[in-house]
Structure 1
Amino acid sequence: MVKLSADQAFAHALEHHRAGRLAEAERSYRQILQLEPEHADSLHLLGVLALQAGKLEAALALVQHAAALRPDAAACRNNLGQVFERLGNDVEAARCYEAAIELDSSYAEAHNNLGLVLHRQDRLTEAEARYRKAIDLDSGYAEPHTNLGNLRKDRGEIDAAIACYRRAIELRPDLSALHSNLLLALHYHPDYAPADLAREHRGWAERHVAPLEAARRPHDNAPEPDRRLRVGYVSPDFREHPIARFVLPLFREHDRRQVEVFAYSDVATPDAVTGVVRDHVDRWRDVAMLGDEQLAEIVRADGIDILVDLAAHSGGNRLLTFARKPAPVQVTYLAYCST
């Protein structure tokens, strides 16, 4: 058997990573590092895998190590910024994105990511400049279009925001979240009547839900009238957010003799309120790092009888999990202003 060089083995590992074979990619990166402990690219992408898995401290250590070995690598700085963002440290995240841009001024993703941090800090003029720079550098990059749309919506420039969202959808018609941003913004436009909103929402469903309907399977929930119902709630807002405040009394008052409460939390950065919500449910699942299909399988395995969506088309929604129909009864409650 021909022994691969570290660079050849890395090429195979990267192929696994790009194809979504994450376990194989991780195994390959670790094998490379056993032979060459300071292989910077393997350290870097092993850190990216840790970030994707929500292992933030491991991600931080790995990507920092890679960045120290490759101070000229803009991608290391950009991904280090994303780790700091997930850790809630926007100051360090911004420094990393700025460093990436200094290393490669044409790095559209770093400009977009810096724009997101500035946007959260209400530095809207600076954020807009970063989004526009990202678009100028890569006109086919959809995310800065939708981020610019969010910014212009926040300013009350609804027509301009809608145009940004529609352009993002043209570029990435497969990304349901970009389409959801448009639907939410349409509610703020005075010329969109209820019938118009219904038509736009049906268009979203035809594009994103209909292709998944064939994969739906029968449910195995036991038809036993004396057992407790399993009710699951899915939300990205089990944190300091009005949704959490609304649902806490509901969770508290559920009759535990009749109902077992599950919470599927999509919170990327938990806070004190997250802990309070967690204390008010029977089963807690951290699902922020799971794909929609993975989440649907977990819901199905939990034997949920009634699954409650608490986001609809607002940010961080899991409508594509619901599209797979993992529970026999599914409802949307709270958080959205129509349909």
Structure 2
Amino acid sequence: MTSEARSDGIKNWKEAYEKGRLACASGDLHEASMAIETAIRLNPNAFELHHDLGVVFFQQNSYHQALTCFRSAIALNPRKYQAWFNGANALCAMHCYQEAIPWYRKAIELNPSFAEAHYNLANTYKALDAPHEAILHYRRAMDIDPNMPEALNNIGTLLLGCGELIDARECFQRALASDANYTQASYNLSLTLNRLGRPEEAIAFVDRCLGLYPEHGEGLALRVSLLQQVCDWPALADAGARLDRQTDEQLRLGQRPSESPFLNFTRSDDPERNLLIGKAWSDWLLKHANHSRSNFGFSHRPQATRRIKIAYLSERFRNAATAHLASGVFGRHDRNRFEIYAYSWGQDDGSVYRRKIEQGVDHFIDIRNISDAEAAQRIHADGIQILVDMMGWMHGHRMGIAARRPAPVQINYLGYPASTGTPFIDYLIADRIIIPYEMRQYFSEKVVWLPDCYQPNDPETPIDPRPCSRIEFGLPENGVIFCSFNTDYKIEPGAFACWMRILRAVPGSVLWLLVRSQQARENLIRSAGSLGIAPTRLVFASPLPKAKHLARLKLADIALDTLTVNGHTTTTDALLAGVPVVTCQGRHFASRVAGSILSAIRMPDLVAADMESYVQMAITLASEAHLLDEVRARLANNKTNAPLFDIDRYVRNLEAAYDNVWKTCVTEKFQRA
């Protein structure tokens, strides 16, 4: 016994160890560590002393010291699975996920029935963005211990991320059957039902989530999104105000807001706020991705290639709005100057859009089943010089790929009508209407202005040649047909009130809408009634294949645009069908798109400066047949000679932009280096 031990009044190592155990049980971790360290000095070869000191250090968040203790314990007895398991936990706490894997595997080798080790190993693979390995070990944990709703929830989360919505839904339902008060499973089931296009059911589960945990930030944001979709504006006003207060507080604290950048720009046309939320999400992503210790810092060197390698990155190379617009671009690139890649993580839906894109690029690579880090490595290995991200922060994004900067030039293009707020996206493709020069301060990217419209529009979009009748689609045989086929979340009370004013001023007119849910229809009818408009003056359309939809669209007289988020593809569709679109120019990117489109078809007179002008313009066109006839005739003529549908001109302009940013990169990055 040392004099130091005697001065503490401790007679032997067992007494010191017991003192440490009691202190740990009472929560006095400092006293516990001191006592167990004393025990180790008295008996340095006892496994349990080193192991338990590691546990105390872990509880004190001293993970490096904890790991040292677990290593010492393993050196004394490598057959004790607990030390391997807890050492792995310490490595994960330090975000050393890759290093933790063999430790968990050793614990499982020593104790094959150790469900918690399988569960934590699955969490580690999840943190490393390796969903298939994670799912495997969650399921092995559940084979050992079937009562693990957390494992079911996590499997569902991974399946949801892979787009396996039906299987994800089943996992969340099973988790709730096991634990009816499982808040996160209620939220995740709501999220899944929303993506399955069932917002009414989704609202029930997000309300259940918020009932269990009213401060669930993502739950509140999801509820706002769902209320937008079902057009429940009284409830939305209250939920939106709560979400704004929550977002303000999160920004003040330097946290990532629960509200996504996408949700924010659908609710707010304040470009400064849009940018702040994008930056906050970007900061969180970079911090999270750095924690995973995946490959950052790819080296980029000038390559003596005959052609510039351009890669388009998207989930929506399928029957989706972005593909409807852009499918005609890929195959028109000049193959003497550019080599075109497409990296896709969306489902192969077998659509004509998917096939057209596959055939229009030189290389089509499916990255659904690899992680963001692996995808970035593949892009870098392929020698991509310009990476064109077509998703931004949209639902289903994989911004973690671009965050790793696999290409020397990275561009935000088409799919996301706002700034990403990130330092790793260098440029944004725009035009002078959606981003006037004085608005560039609200974009983290350098703005590249195309000379006409930033949006490609495919003139080869087929329209079903078979004639349609008003009766076929429940429309009155006489009277003006206004339409707005923008998706339901874009319909907002201010725009709707304008539409009802227009209907009141144009006797016999109807408004033709396309909304997904019965609840949205009922809420719109109720809102119309409160504004003095009979239910019969709202006509609801059902989804149709694109060619048939464009054919029926010809029955409309005037398209009324939504305001905070304009019609993008929807505006193009109306013009393709020969239907003039009336819009109102807003303050941010998403609310200026229709103005850009109309200017590119040389009809800027249909862009109102304010909502009152918007209402009066629609009323005048509907009330004066000769004016409407003149506008429709001008539209028919301009479709063939204005820039909007000149896809070859568009591609040449886009290629000039790519040339310029690449030359800038070579000059500023490579030559300077």
Superposed pair shares fold, TM > 0.5: yes
Q: Which of 336, 347, 354 is the aligned partner of 1:257? A: 336
Q: Distance in 2 between matches of 1:210 and 1:87?
A: 24
By relative contact order (CA 8 Å, sep 6+), the higher-ranking structure is 1
Q: Is the 8 A contact 1:146 1:168 kept in 2?
A: no
Q: 1:124: Cα distance to partner?
A: 2.8
User: Structure 1 stretch 72-81 or stretch 202-211: which is displaced more?
Assistant: 202-211
Which residue number in structure 1 is paired with residue 549 of structure 2? none
Q: Give a deviation string over 1:228-287, Cα, whole Å, max 9, x none.
A: 1011222232344222343333222223332122333344x5544697445634263627
Q: Does 1:186 align with 2:267?
A: yes
SS class of match (2:98): helix
Q: 2:363 aligns with which of 282, 304, 324?
A: 282
Offset from partner CA, 1:183-232 (integer Å, 9 cap, x none): 33136xxxx4xxxx3222333355456897xx9989744275x6210112
Asked if 1:143 corresponds to 2:221, the answer is no
Distance across 1 between alignment mates of 2:393 and 2:99: 34
Structure 2 match to 1:13? 88
**Structure 2 Cα separation of the partners of residues 31 and 239 of structure 1:** 44
Match of 1:204 in 2: 277
Output aligned runs, 1:46-61, within 5 Å. 46-50=121-125, 53-56=129-132, 58-61=133-136
Q: Does 1:68 align with 2:143?
A: yes
Change over 3 Å in CA distance of 1:178–1:242 after alignment to 2: same
Taking structure 1 as reference, are residues 40 and 236 closer, same or farther at Cα in structure 2, changes over 3 Å only? same
Higher radius of gyration, 1 or 2: 2
Is 1:117–2:196 an aligned residue pair? no
Distance 1:73 1:286 in 2: 31
Question: In the alignment, which residue of structure 1 is the partner of 2:414?
Answer: 334
Q: Secondary structure at the match of 1:98?
A: helix
* Maintained 8 Å contact 1:184/1:314: no
Q: Which residue identity does 1:241 align to in structure 2?
A: A
Correspondence 1:175 to 2:256:
yes
2:539 maps to which residue? none
Q: Which stretch has the larger CA shift, 197-206 or 83-92?
A: 83-92
- Deviation per CA, 1:109-128: give whole Å up to 9, x if none: 11111112222344433322
- CA 1:13–1:327: 2 relative to 1, 3 Å: same
TM-score (norm 1): 0.76
Tell me how far 1:23 sits from its aligned partner.
1.7
Deviates more, 1:22-31 or 1:310-319: 310-319
Deviations 1:71-99 (A, max 9, x none): 22221221233344456554443333233
Q: Which SS does the other structure have where 2:259 is aligned?
A: helix
Q: Indicate whether 1:81 and 2:160 are aligned.
A: no
RMSD of the alignment, in Å?
A: 3.9
In the alignment, the residues of structure 1 paired with residue 299 and residue 155 of structure 2 have an alpha-carbon distance, to the nearest angstrom, of 42
Superposition deviation, residue 31 in structure 1 = 1.6
Residue equivalent to 2:244: 166
**Partner letter of residue 200 of structure 1?**
R
Q: Deviations over 1:156-195 (max 9, x none)?
A: 34645644653563458543783413333136xxxx4xxx
Q: Normalising by structure 2, report the TM-score.
A: 0.42
Residues paired across the two proteins, number: 325
1:95 to 170, 176, 198: 170
Q: Secondary structure at the match of 2:150?
A: helix
Structure 1 residues 259 and 165 mapped into 2: Cα distance closer, same or farther (>3 Å)? farther
AA in 1 matched with 2:272: R
Q: Unaligned stretches of 5+ in structure 1? A: none
| Contact residue 266 and residue 316 of structure 1 kept, 8 A | no
Q: Percent identity?
A: 24
In 2: Cα distance, 1:87 partner to 1:93 partner: 9
